[in-house]
């Protein structure tokens, strides 16, 4: 099911300025990635700015072992947690993330306000990135995408509006069937879908698919989203 819109009308919505900016930045960087791919330098860029758990883990271990210069590498590596949120590896990844950001993010931005929503989005993505590193510290493949932040938005949305109606489209072969479901059911469907993706990728022979780590780790985003929105609404 592809979410299209929600049916929440009982409060005045803000103009989603932060959502507009995030969508624009993500699209702009993805177009830049396409130009880098044409020039043959995309791999170098993604490896330099994506979250590579093995690099961050090694740098942190060297720093703790007493190598002062390693802290510079640690700080540089940690910037990838922020930059990597705005990079995407495929059309389907960026399209899916931006659809979720638009459908569910507008409501969360309205109830949090511009500043708190931006903090919510960035911190949730960074925390999820840390969890990805802890989940697979030896992984040498860069992890990119806003999946963690988007999952946090979904978790916060369902926590606040579990019974809100979500307009979706269900693709059935060549037919697109419009369906309206409550938010909690949509979360359940999403959860089952992500588990199936993670299990499938873990069974791939010859190693670990880095996307599987992202799917497993981003479940934490649901809990981060719930906890963080409760915290931010106190201020």
pLDDT mean across residues, the chain: 84
Statement: residue 154 has pLDDT above 90: yes
Chain segment 73-84, per-residue pLDDT in tens: 888 777 888 998
Of the two residues 87 and 196, the one the predictor is more confident about is 87
pLDDT of res. 226: 93
pTM: 0.87
Chain segment 181-225, per-residue pLDDT in tens: 999 998 888 777 766 655 444 333 344 444 444 665 677 889 999
Which of 59-73, 78-92, 155-169 has the largest mean confidence? 155-169
Chain segment 57-74, per-residue pLDDT in tens: 888 888 888 888 888 888
pLDDT of res. 101: 95
* Burial class for 66, CB neighbours closer than 10 Å (0-12, 13-18, 19+): exposed
Of the two residues 199 and 112, the one the predictor is more confident about is 112
pLDDT of res. 71: 86
Neighbouring-strand partners of residue 6: 166
Q: What domains are there in the chain, each with its CATH number? A: 2-232 (1.20.1540.10)
Mean pLDDT to the nearest integer, 25-53: 90
pLDDT of res. 98: 94
Neighbouring-strand partners of residue 143: 51
């Amino acid at each position: 099911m592809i979410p299209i819109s929600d049916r929440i009308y009982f409060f005045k919505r803000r103009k989603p300025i932060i959502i507009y900016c995030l969508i624009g930045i993500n699209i702009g960087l993805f177009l830049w990635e396409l130009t880098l791919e044409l020039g043959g330098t995309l791999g170098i860029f993604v490896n330099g700015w994506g979250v590579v758990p093995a690099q961050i883990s090694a740098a942190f271990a060297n720093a703790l072992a007493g190598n002062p210069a390693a802290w510079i590498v640690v700080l540089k590596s940690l910037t990838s947690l922020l930059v990597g949120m705005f990079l995407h590896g495929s059309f389907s990844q960026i399209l899916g993330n931006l659809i979720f950001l638009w459908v569910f993010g507008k409501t969360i931005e309205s109830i949090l306000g511009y500043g708190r929503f931006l903090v919510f989005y960035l911190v949730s993505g960074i925390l999820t990135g840390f969890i990805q590193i802890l989940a697979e510290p030896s992984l040498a493949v860069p992890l990119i995408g806003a999946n963690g932040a988007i999952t946090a938005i979904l978790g916060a949305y369902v926590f606040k509006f579990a019974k809100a109606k979500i307009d979706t489209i269900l693709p059935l072969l060549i037919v697109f069937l419009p369906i309206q479901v409550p938010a909690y059911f949509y979360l359940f469907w999403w959860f089952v879908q992500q588990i199936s993706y993670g299990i499938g990728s873990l069974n791939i022979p010859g190693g670990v698919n880095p996307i599987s780590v992202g799917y497993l780790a981003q479940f934490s985003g649901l809990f981060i989203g719930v906890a963080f929105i409760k915290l931010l609404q106190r201020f």
